[in-house]
Amino acid sequence: MDTLCEKFSKLGIDNAPGQEKTQKDREIDLRGNIIEGKEVDFSHGDVDAFEPLPGSLDCFIKGYEVGGKQAYTEYRGKLDIRKDVAEKISKFTGSKINPEENIILTPGTQGALFLAMGSMIGTGDKVAIVEPDYFANRKLVEFFGGKIIPIELDYKKYADRAGIDLKDLENKFKDGVSLFIFSNPNNPLGVIYSAEEIEGIASLAKKYGVSLIVDELYSRQIFDHRQYTHLCAMPEIPDQMITIIGPSKTESLSGFRLGIAFGNKDIILRMEKLQAIVSLRTAGYCQSVYHVWFNEPEGYMESRIKAHQDIRDELFTKFTDAGYYVRKTEAGSYLFVELPKLDIPLKDFVVALRKLAGVTVTAGIEFGPQFTRHFRINFSQDAEAASAAADRIIEIVKRYTCDC
């Protein structure tokens, strides 16, 4: 059991978003009075502020009423639903998805990531991940016994690209990387990879035979009419490639646990085999709800994106005025905030913030060990509550800013 102990000791969840209430009480240096205000949990979006897509519950009920054929589907998901989703996603991404072979319905995009990595990472494989990027990427690579090769994103340097160094990437690909995983738009930064970056990644992966997993979870929520490039639609892509997307974020359907993965048919088959022993299938009745996705009432998505953009602007201005470094979110609902130097550890600050101001944020170290002065917020929240919470954050930061 020793290797298992080690494996699970790396697999921390105490500081993961949503798990804050399970943290054991530690001695924290709490300074000053509690600042009253409506509690805000920035660790994930507030589906009460931005409700699930219209019609989603009705869809679920219809699925329930279908009965047995909806309860027991193929492990990769019900064929008519795969057809519907494949058609919509082909159109959205500009790629060609065969519903019989190239797509699997998964329990959330987390499910898609787990299945994809489990199907593509062997023990000892070198797996390149971006820093910062979605916190589970690191944990998954470690769980499957891969060796992490970090790719730093120089996100402060450019306004028109995410900041990947293609030369550095090429060197690491040359050096034996077998799989490269990244999210676009990036989580936690909310930056979009430029067309040139995407083309570069695609052609390097093709050249060096590196497999790709591209997590496009937030690719429908693009601000300021920016350009977005789907890697799967590039003329040259590697054979072994999987794209992941789902309706949990912009569409607020997280409570149904729906995601998809599409790409190479052999990998999809592996993912299905793995799904069969992981949890059989995406909950049968929930599968019906994919129908509302990409089927929103006219103008619905535009107004939702606009509402998020307004909150972004409000918070971005506040944090920038307070002197923190933040790159303005280009897509998705995250802001990754760099604080001045604090005189307590980041983990303690996060707890103090929750106790003194009723505000939950995700510590930067979840996204890469070097982000010790950073936190991430998901600003898909009630606009007023989020704005007031930002004020409280700024107030609490003052109490812990280092004089040094």
Within positions 201 to 260, which residues make up the interface with a second copy, using CB under 8 A? 252, 254-257
Asked whether position 24 contacts a second copy by CB under 8 A, the answer is no
* Residue in 394, 400, 365 with CA at minimum distance from that of residue 15: 365
278: contact with a second copy by CB under 8 A: yes
Residue 273 is which amino acid? K
Residue 380 C-beta: closest distance to a second copy, Å: 11
**81-110 mask for a second copy (x: CB under 8 A)?**
-------------------------xxx-x
Is 241:211 a contact under the CB 8 Å cutoff? yes
Q: Is 3 in the site for a second copy (CB under 8 A)?
A: yes
Looking at the DSSP assignment, which residues form a beta bridge with residue 164?
A: 153
d(CA 275, CA 209): 26
Q: Output the DSSP codes for 273-316.
A: HHHHHHTSSS-HHHHGGGGGTT-PPTTHHHHHHHHHHHHHHHHH
Nearer to a second copy, 20 or 348 (CB): 20
Q: How far is the CB of 159 from a second copy (least distance, A)?
A: 33
Strands 334-338 and 362-363: unpaired
Question: How many residues of this chain interact with a second copy, rule: CB under 8 A?
Answer: 71
What is the Cα 160 distance to its own chain's centre?
Answer: 21
| Stretch touching a second copy by CB under 8 A, among 70-78, 147-155, 160-168, 223-231 | 70-78
Decide: is 22 part of the binding site for a second copy (CB under 8 A).
yes
The DSSP-derived string for 234-281 is SSS--SSEEEEE-SSSTT--GGG--EEEEE-HHHHHHHHHHHHHHTSS
Query: Which residues are registered as beta bridge partners of 147?
Result: 126
- Nearest 5°: phi and psi at 227? -80, 140
Contact in structure between 71 and 284 (CB atoms under 8 Å): yes
Q: Report the nearest approach of a second copy to the CB of residue 95 (Å).
A: 23
Site membership for a second copy, residue 120 (CB under 8 A): yes
Q: Which two three-digit tokens encode residue 355?
A: 């106790």
Smallest gap, in angstroms, from Cβ of residue 68 to a second copy?
4
**42 binds a second copy per the rule CB under 8 A:** no
When asked if residue 34 is in the footprint of a second copy (CB under 8 A), the reply is no
Which is nearest to 189 in space by CA: 315, 41, 329?
329
197 three-class SS:
helix
Q: Toward a second copy, which CB reaches closer, 198 or 213?
A: 213
Pick the binder of a second copy from 77, 99, 111, 368 (CB under 8 A).
Answer: 111
Rounded to a whole number of angstroms, the minimum distance from the CB of residue 215 to a second copy is 14
Instruction: Examine residue 38 and tell whether it contacts a second copy (CB under 8 A).
Output: no
Minimum CB separation of residue 132 from a second copy in Å reads 18
When asked if residue 61 is in the footprint of a second copy (CB under 8 A), the reply is yes
Residue span binding a second copy (CB under 8 A) among the ranges 8-16, 88-96, 158-166, 313-321: 8-16
